[in-house]
Amino acid sequence: MAHTRIRKFNTRETYPEQQLDNDLCQAVVAGNTVFLRGQIGQDLDTRESVGVGDVAAQAEKAMANVAMLLQECGSELSHICKLTVYLVDVRYREAVYNVVGRWLKGVFPVSTGIVVSALARPEWLVEIDVTAVIPD
């Protein structure tokens, strides 16, 4: 199966404070399936963190990134099949799920929520991982 990698980057650029050198991308299209990298409150072009200290603002930016990446891959929000939400505090659940629910009204994906001790940077409070399809 052929696949395409969208928005390639190296971790040394994204995490300059860490000693990393991994080649990754924001999305992979394999056949008609789209796999997105977990999205956080970060501008994908500037790598600037957005909404520091505000979990709803971070969720909003993460979902905007999801929408933008899906469009770049030839898909859209309505074709999301699987969603995983990572939170660093269970008390953020309501704020984040209200944002996600607004973006995905009428989509009905399967969803998993996980509380973790930390994400890749201390200012990140939520990460949203998505798998979608490109319709025939």
Residue 61 has phi, psi (to 5 degrees) of -65, -40
Domain with 57, as residue range(s), is 3-133
CA neighbor of 114 nearest in space, from 128, 103, 101: 128
pLDDT(32) > 70: yes
- At 127 the three-state DSSP class reads strand
Task: Give the number of other CB atoms < 10 A from CB of residue 57.
Answer: 17
Stated pTM of the model: 0.94
pLDDT for res 86: 98
pLDDT(18) > 90: no
What is the domain count for the chain?
Answer: 1
Work out whether the CA dihedral 53, 107, 35, 6 comes out positive or negative. negative
Q: Give the whole-angstrom CA distance, residue 90 versus residue 72.
A: 32
Residue-wise pLDDT for 109-119, tens only, equals 999 999 999 99
- At 63 the three-state DSSP class reads helix
Q: Which residues contact 127 (CB under 8 A, 6 or more apart)?
A: 38, 39, 40, 62, 85, 86, 119
**Which tokens hold the place of 76?**
């859209």
- Residue 103 sits in a domain of what CATH number? 3.30.1330.40
pLDDT for res 1: 62
Stretch among 8-22, 69-83, 118-132 having the lowest mean pLDDT: 8-22
Residue-wise pLDDT for 62-100, tens only, equals 999 999 999 999 999 999 999 999 999 999 999 999 999
Q: DSSP letters along 5-16, please?
A: EEEEEEHHHH-T
